[in-house]
Amino acid sequence: MSKGFAVVDLETTGLFPTKHDRIVEVGIVLMSPGGEIESRHETLVNPMRDMGPQHIHGITAAAAARAPIFERIAPRIAELLDDRVPVAHNASFDSRFLGYQMAEAGLSVAEPDRWFCTMRMSEHWSGYRRLAECCLAAGVELLDAHSAGGDAYATAELLHAYMRAVSDRQYWAAWLASTSPHGPYSVDASVPWVPRSNTFEPEPSFVSQLVGSLTTSSIGSHLNVDYLALLDRVMLDRVVSISEGSALLDLAATLGLTPDDVRLAHRAYFDGLVTAAWADHIVTADEAIDIREVGEILGIDTDSVAGAISRAPATDALVLSSGFHLSPGDIVVLTGEMSKPRDAWAQVLTGMGLVVKDNVVKKTKLLVAADPDSMSGKAKQARDYGVTIVNETGLEKLIHG
């Protein structure tokens, strides 16, 4: 006898697995043959490429980097779906996408025509197609929309509502009779599933991780120019990615900097920013926001930040002018789905005399990524070559100052 139903939802980098789009989150809800929810399983997936439409699924590259790659969780997915009716809202998409990646992992799932589709039933039952509208019509609460776990759970409750409404028991019995067991599967119990909620747990700031890793017994170099130069590049977009934080840590350790040396460098950068903001004798609202943001990133105490915004420095601090700028002829590469279309950015950049290329080469001056922690091939190559990576905010700053 069938174990019941397995409701599946996927978040992906795009629509076409054959064109290198990949799964970034899996949600599976198991249900009994009678339609009762038994358990919920979900995990982010490291796609080993850029994250695609992050404005839809809301998953950062940093979060995905903490998750397993698909091949390592594929046996567990096969085990969860084994001898159950696979269900999805728009099953054509989920079945084909999951089937493609399972095949890459040497496993299989049921063919698309053997998946139950709640969207198709909704078209006949309520006239709606979108999950949110179908849930509303059926009186089902949809929480955490566009998360695989949330959408899978809502789809399971939607299926349960339809099972109560359709009294033909033979209809559901026929679906349950269509399954068969294929296991056991070689599941590695040591591979953790990483639910989206776990990635929201705050991690120590890069400053606390950095200074905590340095030794106070080394001979410091005080205001180290090399460290400040790298810090300047990192702070272009006011985001310290995982790789950038690691680069700062590695350089600080290589230079023999102490925690006090690092704090001194951060304070020098901050004071220089404040001095530049007060150069026209007024701090604008945007400058105040920038000062607060930089102060938080660099671990500057809140009293110092507040004082920097409310009054001009008593003496001029060292103004650390950025050593990084774009000049005509510099090569710029774009990666990821940005808020402004790439073609629009390319037009702006070429209008400045910059050269926009599709691939990163050693002479590339800048990579602009939708997410600074992007795992795209371009981002990986840029890190190997030591190319500066910024997001769109960083590019705006470089263009407009």
Query: Domains in the chain and their CATH numbers?
Result: 4-200 (3.30.420.10), 206-310 (no CATH), 331-400 (3.40.50.10190)
Residue 221's pLDDT is 54
Distance CA 372, CA 237 (A): 9
Distance CA 111, CA 268 (A): 61
Q: Identify residue 16 by its one-letter amino acid code.
A: F
Residue 397's pLDDT is 83
Structure tokens at 198: 């776990």
Distance CA 321, CA 326 (A): 14
Residue 13's pLDDT is 94
Q: Return the exposure string of 91-113: e unless at least 16 CB atoms fall within 10 Å of the residue's CB, then b.
A: bebbbbbbbbbbeebebebbebe
| Contacts of 188 by beta carbon, 8 Å cutoff, 6+ apart | 72, 75
Distance CA 157, CA 135 (A): 9
The CA–CA distances, whole Å, from 333 to 35, 49, 239, 385, 387 equal 51, 16, 19, 13, 10
Give the rounded distance of the alpha carbon of 149 from its chain centre: 16
Residue 62's pLDDT is 86
Residue 279's pLDDT is 83
Distance CA 70, CA 5 (A): 22
* Per-residue pLDDT of the chain in tens (401 residues, 90 and over written 9): 789 999 999 999 999 999 889 999 999 999 999 999 999 999 999 999 989 888 889 998 888 988 999 999 999 999 999 999 999 999 999 999 999 999 999 999 999 999 999 999 998 888 899 999 999 999 999 998 889 999 999 999 999 999 998 878 899 999 999 999 998 999 999 999 999 876 555 556 656 666 565 655 555 555 677 888 888 888 888 888 888 888 888 888 888 888 888 888 898 888 888 888 888 889 999 899 999 999 999 999 999 999 999 988 876 555 555 568 889 999 999 998 888 888 999 999 999 999 999 999 999 999 999 888 888 899 999 999 999 999 998 898 888 76
Residue 125's pLDDT is 84
Residue whose C-alpha is closest to residue 320's, from 287, 277, 289: 277
| Confidence (pTM) | 0.75
Residue 228's pLDDT is 83
The string of DSSP codes covering 196-261 is GGGGGSPPPPHHHHHHHHS-TTS---SS-HHHHHHHHHHGGGT---HHHHHHHHHHHHHHT--HHH
